[in-house]
């Protein structure tokens, strides 16, 4: 009987640890998305078109030198 209780406690502890690890992974993934995924789908489309225009020579890339 004591052995079964120890097994159940061990399984519950393992399940709690797995849930905690999963929660932490999701929390960090969400934080990284908030930090690095700043462009939504419409903005990404615009950024890609602007990049194409720079590559084709239609636009010159912004360097910050022209702000004087």
- pLDDT tens for 1-31 read 878 999 999 999 999 999 999 999 999 998 8
- Judge if pTM exceeds 0.75: no
Q: Alpha-carbon distance 40 to 62, whole Å?
A: 22
Q: Taking the CA of residue 35 as centre, how many other CA atoms within 13 Å lie in the half-sphere pointing to its CB?
A: 6
Q: Is the dihedral of CA 13, 16, 22, 23 positive or negative?
A: negative
Q: Alpha-carbon distance 36 to 27, whole Å?
A: 14
Which residues are CB-contacts of 61 (< 8 A; sequence separation ≥ 6)? Answer: 54
Q: Position of tokens 């010159």?
A: 60
Q: What is the pLDDT of residues 19-66, one digit of tens each?
A: 999 999 999 998 888 777 666 777 788 888 888 999 998 988 777 765
């Amino acid at each position: 009987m004591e052995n079964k209780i120890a097994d159940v406690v061990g399984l519950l502890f393992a399940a709690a640890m797995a849930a905690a690890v999963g929660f932490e992974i999701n929390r960090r993934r969400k934080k990284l998305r908030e930090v690095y995924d700043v462009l939504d789908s419409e903005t990404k489309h615009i950024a890609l078109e602007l990049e194409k225009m720079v590559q084709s020579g239609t636009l010159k890339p912004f360097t910050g030198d022209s702000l004087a």
